[in-house]
Amino acid sequence: MKPERVPGRYIREEDLRRLPGVIEYTPTARYSYSAGQALSEFLRGLKDGRILGKLCPSCRRVLVPPRVYCEFCFTPTTEWVEVTGAGRVETAVISYIGVARERLEKPEIIGVIRLDAPGHAENSFDFAGLFHKLCGVTEDDVKSGRVIGMRVKPRWKPVHERVGSILDIECFEPLQPREVV
């Protein structure tokens, strides 16, 4: 590519603001998402402090979060199966920034949890799972790698605070309480 002229004009934000013809706009886009058959039941389960999955009749796996189909077998799922919520950490990270990149005062630890659920082989590529906040673990647990494989369980919010949302689970914490030094 002959580099003599690549089109485009860089402009700094403060210079842009001074130009005529600049348009500002605040969008409005509101929705009422239909949760449907599977997630409505799942959210009701969370309110009762239960994590529900659905059984695929052909591969015999329990899918968490539940869906009305098994996306690998393309068959409708059948029975509701409650899982204990215990599982182990697949991966975990430490976030120092918020949604729009602002710095957080207190970092958050987030993890993907492979849940104990019927039909899933121990180290299979696919597994029943959730991603959520981790508590009771330190930044060093994450950086050192100790957190990966750690056995965890959900810490539920008190009954009266539960509304039928993924946030009814406050976080996932280590199975054995560890005196966090």
Q: Which of residues 78-107 bind other proteins (CB under 8 A)?
A: 78, 90-101
Smallest separation, CB 72 to other proteins (Å): 6
Burial (0-12, 13-18, 19+ Cβ within 10 Å), 90: middle
Q: What angle do CA 12, 95, 153 make, to 5 degrees?
A: 155
Span of 69-77, 152-160, 173-181 interacting with other proteins by CB under 8 A: 69-77
Residue 19 interacts with other proteins (CB under 8 A): yes or no: yes
> Is residue 38 at the binding interface for other proteins, with CB under 8 A as the rule?
yes
Q: Which of 51, 130, 134, 152 binds other proteins (CB under 8 A)?
A: 130
Nearer to other proteins, 94 or 135 (CB): 94
Nearer to other proteins, 21 or 177 (CB): 21
Of 30, 79, 27, 31, the closest CA to residue 53 belongs to: 79
Stretch that binds other proteins, among 58-66, 153-161, 173-181 (CB under 8 A): 58-66
Return the exposure string of 50-77: e unless at least 16 CB atoms fall within 10 Å of the residue's CB, then b.
ebbbbbbeeeebbbbbbbeebeeeeeeb
Q: Does 63 bind other proteins (CB under 8 A)?
A: yes
Q: Is 7 in the site for other proteins (CB under 8 A)?
A: yes
- Number of residues this chain uses to bind other proteins (CB under 8 A): 83
CB of 113 within 8 A of CB of 130?
yes
Indicate the burial class of 114 (C-beta count within 10 angstroms; 0-12, 13-18, 19 or more).
buried
Answer for which of 133, 153, 155, 157 binds other proteins (CB under 8 A) is: 133
Amino acid letter, 169? I
